[in-house]
A and B are shown apart, each in its own frame.
Chain A
């Protein structure tokens, strides 16, 4: 088993990569290769041109400032896992990244690659949805910023144009002391999740929830924010009953039905995991 024939390009700068991408039909960008390489090996895809981003400079960084963090598209998942900066400012990402594949795949796999691939069960798109990520993309006509809600269009489909490249992902910050909860159910650690939930909670001076984010992933084609639950949580003190009510709002989601689990099971998991994630975030939030 091996990839079909293609022409190989290894640009070293972003403009060079974009000009290659724009000048060929049927070209694919190769980031960490942990999704595209299996697809090539199994001959699910037949690109005529493969544009390898591994030598492109200026795409591998983690920058923190007052507004949040910006992560370069080619930043390896393993570097995100080991980043003290992210553990402090972005605990949800630090925790979720450990569930992305295995050591060997995280050593190669990238932030941008996973997001552009947009597998419905993947953890990175879920964190991006939970944190209202803003995706920076560059194409022949310059740069634009795409909010995650407009980026994740559908099953493995992003808003990136064929000649556009994901350059970085910004995660707007949550107040220091916010709590993050992450719950995932899969058959084995590192497998694709059957369902997962991410919660973020900020507690105000009055000891009540001041801001909340609840995201369910793996259930439908793209991660979904449960806005009804988020709004209901604000102004409440965390309790079993409050989290039950919030979790109820996850029961009616559009759910995938496949060999791994029927839709009804995914809907059930969504509720259970949402409640656990919320309780975990509440527990971890400093009041």
Chain B
């Protein structure tokens, strides 16, 4: 039982082909097989949001997805958020400027969630943002810094002047 399968996935624009045990979660696959340890695991049962990645442009909990289900799909992880090795994405910059992270454990999940959200809602209210990150637990910041950062990033991404 628990046979293996060969899967092909594109992660952050790069194609991989690997043989995986069918019961392995996408989170464990990314971390252990591909060495992409930026995706964090908090609860491993869908509550904390730390493992959030994007599957075909939509945020999803990688602890609740099997690696085999990602066969042929496109995945984005925190390693693929910054445009280059020495440049941050505007949302990453804003999180840094607004103290949107302390230990950083929740940050990858927050980033992948907010990137999708800001795409769908370029001009969100504070309440919209709080709702959008309601599925991401942060034990450090008290969320205020994250909300401030999201507001600032939204403005920057809309092309307005940064606050």
Contact = CB atoms under 8 A, between A and B. Distances in A.
Given A34-B64, A52-B69, A190-B134, A41 B44 contact: yes
Contact of A2 (B1, B28, B113): B28
Interface residues of B, number: 33
Interface string A25-57: 000000001100110111000001010101000
B99 to A, nearest CB: 23
Interface residues of A, number: 31
B24 interface: yes
A196 B49 CA distance: 25
Interface stretch (B8-16, B55-63, B87-95, B147-155): B55-63
A104 B134 contact: no
A33 B134 contact: no
Contacts of B28: 2
Tell me if A's interface is mostly helix, strand, loop or mixed: loop
A2 B25 contact: yes
A104 B3 contact: no
Most chain B CB neighbours (cut-off 10 Å) among A3, A6, A8, A50: A8
Contact of B25 (A41, A48, A107): A41
A103 B22 contact: no
A38 B27 CA distance: 13
Nearest to A190: B134
A101 B23 contact: no
B105 interface: no
B46 A38 contact: yes
B49 A104 contact: yes
B132 interface: yes
Interface in A142-175: none
B58 A41 contact: no
A101 B1 contact: no
A5 B23 contact: yes
B5 interface: yes
Contact of A3 (B3, B25, B117): B25
A8 B135 contact: no
Given A104-B49, A104-B61, A1 B135 contact: no
B116 interface: yes
Interface of A: 1-8, 10, 33-34, 37-38, 40-42, 48, 50, 52, 54, 78, 101-105, 107-108, 188-190
23 contacts: A1-B45, A2-B25, A4-B23, A7-B2, A8-B23, A10-B68, A33-B65, A33-B66, A37-B25, A37-B45, A37-B46, A37-B63, A37-B66, A38-B64, A40-B23, A41-B44, A42-B45, A52-B69, A102-B49, A103-B132, A104-B59, A105-B61, A107-B58
